[in-house]
C-alpha cells in the first residue's frame, strides 16, 4: 500500500539512502510515482543491458541489497511502511523484467507494461509478499516477484515472436 508523506523530500534527500530509495528523486512525482520511477529506471538500464548476463545478475543482486537497506532507512526515517515515494523497488523489478530481451523496442515496451501490470494487480505471491513481509525487504520483494512474472511473460512472447 503506497502512502504520501508531507515534507518527506526534505527529510530524505539529505542522505544517500533517501536518494536511492526515491529513485534519484523520480519517486517524488506528484502522481503515479511508481510509473515515474519505472520510467526513470530505463535510463540506467540502457547501460545495464550491455553487460554479460552474469554481470547483469550481479548488478541486480547488488541493487537489491542496496535497495533493501535504502528502503529500510527510508521507512524508519518517515515512520511509514512502503511510502509511495520509494521507487527503487520499481527500478530492480523492471530490470528483472527486461533481462535477456531481444534487441527490439517492442519487447522493452512489453516488459515495461507487464511489469507495471503485475506490480499494480499483485497476483499471488506478489500480493502475499506485499502484505506479509514488512520493512525494506518487503518493499523490495513484491516488485522483484512482479519483475519475475513480467520476465517470464516477455520471454514467452519473445520465444513466439522473435525471429
Question: pLDDT digits over 69-98, tens only?
Answer: 999 999 999 998 888 999 999 999 999 999
User: Which pLDDT belongs to residue 34?
Assistant: 94
Percentage of the chain beyond pLDDT 90 is 84
Q: Is residue 162's pLDDT more than 80? A: no
If we measure between CA atoms, which residue out of 78, 121, 93, 118 comes closest to residue 23?
Answer: 93
Q: Is residue 1's pLDDT more than 60? A: no
User: Which pLDDT belongs to residue 91?
Assistant: 98
Q: How confident is the model at residue 17 (pLDDT cuts 50, 70, 90)?
A: very high
If we measure between CA atoms, which residue out of 24, 147, 13 comes closest to residue 87?
Answer: 24
- Give CA separation, 16 vs 2, 52, 74, 77, 108, in Å: 22, 28, 10, 13, 29
Mean pLDDT to the nearest integer, 120-137: 94
If we measure between CA atoms, which residue out of 158, 162, 113, 120 comes closest to residue 142?
Answer: 120
3 three-state secondary structure? strand
Radius of gyration of the chain (CA): 15
**Diameter of the chain measured on Cα atoms:** 51
What secondary structure letter does DSSP report for 26? G
| 8 A C-beta contact, residue 154 and residue 101 | yes
The residue ranges of every structural domain in the chain are 8-161
Mean pLDDT to the nearest integer, 134-154: 97
Q: How confident is the model at residue 3 (pLDDT cuts 50, 70, 90)?
A: low
Q: How confident is the model at residue 163 (pLDDT cuts 50, 70, 90)?
A: low
Q: Is residue 51's pLDDT more than 70? A: yes
Lowest mean pLDDT among 10-14, 23-27, 46-50: 10-14
Amino acid at each position: 500500500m503506497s502512502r504520501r508523506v508531507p515534507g518527506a523530500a526534505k527529510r530524505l534527500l539529505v542522505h544517500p539512502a533517501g536518494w536511492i530509495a526515491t529513485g534519484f528523486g523520480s519517486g517524488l512525482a506528484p502522481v503515479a510515482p511508481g510509473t515515474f520511477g519505472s520510467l526513470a529506471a530505463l535510463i540506467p538500464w540502457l547501460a545495464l543491458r550491455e553487460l554479460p548476463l552474469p554481470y547483469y545478475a550481479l548488478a541486480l543482486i547488488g541493487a537489491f541489497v542496496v535497495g533493501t537497506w535504502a528502503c529500510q532507512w527510508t521507512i524508519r526515517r518517515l515512520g511509514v511502511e512502503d511510502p509511495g515515494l520509494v521507487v527503487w523497488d520499481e527500478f530492480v523489478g523492471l530490470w528483472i523484467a527486461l533481462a535477456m530481451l531481444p534487441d527490439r523496442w517492442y519487447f522493452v515496451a512489453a516488459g515495461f507494461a507487464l511489469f507495471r501490470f503485475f506490480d499494480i494487480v499483485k497476483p499471488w505471491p506478489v500480493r502475499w509478499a506485499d502484505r506479509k513481509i514488512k520493512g525494506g525487504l518487503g518493499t523490495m520483494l513484491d516488485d522483484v516477484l512482479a519483475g519475475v512474472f513480467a520476465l517470464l511473460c516477455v520471454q514467452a512472447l519473445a520465444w513466439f515472436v522473435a525471429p
